[in-house]
Amino acid sequence: MTASTSPSIASNAPQRPVRDSFWTRIAAELAEAIGSGIYAPGQRLPSEHALAEQFGVNRHTIRRSLASLCTQGLVRITQGSGTYVEDFAVDLVLGKRTRHHQGLAQAGLRGSLVVLHEQALPATVTVAKALQVPVRSKVLALRVLGEAQGQPLHVSERYFPLPRFEGLTAVVRATGSITAGFAAHGVADYTRRESRITADLPDARVAADLRQPASRPVLLVESLNVDPQGVPIEWARAWFAGDRVKLTIAHDEH
C-alpha cells in the first residue's frame, strides 16, 4: 500500500527532462520547417509571442529554442527587429587577385563595400612592418563592411600608407570598391602577397556589425596587397561570418 501511494524518486525524476525537452523539440520542429522551405531564407519568423501560443509554451522556452537555432547558424536574431532565417552561404575565392565585386559576381550575387569609419592614425609596429613604413608614420585606417544582397558577409580594418592614398576614402564611399580607389590613385592593378586565415570568436563590435551572436565563430583573414612593383599598398584584417561564407584558396591564378 505504501509503495503504491507514496511519491517516489523514480516518479518525479522524469519531470525535469520532460520540461527541458520542450525547447529542443520546438527547435527541431522549427529547423525542419526551415529545411523544408516553410520558412524561406531571409524570412522573419513569427514573434516569440506567436510561437509561444502556437506551441503552447511560455516565451522563455521559445527564446531558448531560438537561441539554439542561432547557435546552429540557421537563424539570426536582430535586437528590436526579430528572428530571421539565415540567407545563404557564399563561396568567396581568395587568390592572387582577390576582388569583392568579382567574388560576389562569381557566386551570382551583387554587393558592395560600405565605409563605416575612417581615421588617419600613427602606424603601429604591426601595421608599419606590413606596409614597410616607419613606426608612427601616418596611415589611413578604414573600417569597412562587405555586403551582399543586403546581408553583411565581412567587416574589416584596412590600412593604407599616407600621403600616397590621401582621398581614397571618398572614392570608396562613392563606388563601394577598393579597386576603384586604387585606380583613382594610379594603381591600375594589384595582387595579394599573402592571406592568413584563423578561426576566432568576434568581439562585441564585430558581432554587431555582422549581426550575429558573439558566441558564433568567425573566420579572421589577415592579408597584404602590393602594387605591380611589389610595394605594399594595403594591410587588412577581415572578419568573415562563418555561417554565411565559405573561403576557397585559389592556387592557379597567373
Q: Compute the average pLDDT of residues 113-126.
A: 97
Residue 99: is it exposed, middle or buried by C-beta count within 10 angstroms (0-12/13-18/19+)?
A: middle
- Angle, helices 15-35/48-55, rounded to nearest 10 degrees: 120
CB within 8 Å of 19: residues ≥ 6 apart: none
Q: Please, are residues 128 and 212 in contact by the beta-carbon 8 Å criterion?
A: no
- Any domain includes 70: yes
> What CATH code is carried by the domain that includes residue 155?
3.40.1410.10
CA–CA dist 109, 124 (Å, integer): 36
pTM of the model: 0.68
Single out the residue in 50, 85, 120 at which a domain terminates. Answer: 85
Looking at 38, 66, 85, which one is the last position of a domain?
A: 85
Is 254 inside a domain boundary? no
Domain end residue (candidates: 28, 54, 85) = 85
What percentage of residues in the chain have a pLDDT greater than 70?
83
Q: Are strands 138-148 and 90-94 parallel, antiparallel or unpaired?
A: unpaired
Bridge partner residues of 199 (DSSP) = 219
How far is the CA of 142 from the CAs of 92, 118, 145, 211, in angstroms? 21, 5, 10, 19
Q: Could you tell me the residue range of the domain that residue 31 belongs to?
A: 2-85
Polymer length in residues for the chain: 254
Domain count, the chain: 2
Residue that wins the pLDDT comparison between 94 and 123:
123
What tens digit of pLDDT does each residue of 134-161 get? Answer: 999 999 999 999 987 677 889 999 999 9
Residues 73 and 183 in one domain: no
Cα separation, 246 vs 244, whole angstroms: 7
